[in-house]
Structure formats: structure tokens, C-alpha cells
Amino acid sequence: MQDYAGALTLLLLVGAAIAGVYTAGLLLAVHRDPLRAAPFSGGLLPTEHPLSRYHARWYAMTLVFLAFDLEMLFMYPWALVVAQVGPSAVVEMFGFLAMLLVGVVYAWREGAFRWA
């Protein structure tokens, strides 16, 4: 049990800190009436619930963004070693980019880039 004493002590301290911050927030919070708690200089009042669902086209756009984000993740280290590896690295990267292009063409065909 002494092997876990440090971890258990840290866990208890973190739990006490969380409980303390939560209690302080409840005790020190300013309770206002809903009319005065409206957004200040934020424009109009919200017309829908903040947790409402997004349209399905946003999911396809998100996947396309992630594909290009991963492309950059793989291209940075590739750019550092392409001179050492040689032409095979260039061929492999163009193959990878061709697969991404197929995904973009598919997303375009499915209408992921249409806004209306």
C-alpha cells in the first residue's frame, strides 16, 4: 500500500481542490434575474438551443479538413528526409496525395462543398 501512497495523496488533493473550487463558485456566484443576464453587446438573443444539432454537411466538411490536416502532418517529416531517401519518397508522397485527391473528388461529388 505504501507504493501507492503518493498517488493516493495526490488524488485526494486534486479531489479536494475540485470540490473547493466548485463550492467557492456556488457561494460566490452572482445570481441575477434572467432579463439582466442577457448577452451584453452581443447582438440579438439566441434563437435556438446551443446544443442543437448541426446539419449533416458539416460532418463531411470536417472530414475533408481532417484529411488535409493529416496531409500536412505527413508532409513535414517527409520534406526533411526526401533528399536522403530519393525518388521513392517522391513517388510514395504522390501516391498519398492521389488518395487524398480521390477523397476530395468524392466529397465534391457528394456535395460537401455546397453551402446551401
Q: Which three cell numbers stand for residue 24?
A: 467557492
Taking residue 36's Cβ as centre, other Cβ atoms within 10 Å add up to 7
3-state helix, strand, coil in the chain (%, to 5): 70, 0, 30
Please give the pLDDT value at position 62.
82
Amino acid code (one letter) for 91 = V
Highest mean pLDDT among 25-29, 72-76, 86-90: 86-90
Task: For residues 30-34, give the mean pLDDT.
Answer: 70
Q: How many angstroms from the chain centroid is the CA of residue 102?
A: 24
Q: What does the pLDDT read at residue 91?
A: 93
What angle do helix axes 87-110 and 57-85 make, rounded to 10 degrees? Answer: 170
Angle in degrees, CA 86, 88, 91, rounded to 5: 120
Q: Which pTM was predicted?
A: 0.46
| pLDDT per residue as tens digits for the range 42-69 | 667 667 776 777 777 777 778 888 888 8
Is a pLDDT exceeding 90 seen at residue 16?
Answer: yes
- CA 61, distance to chain mean position in Å, is 13
SS3 65: helix
Q: How far apart are the first and last CA of the chain?
A: 62
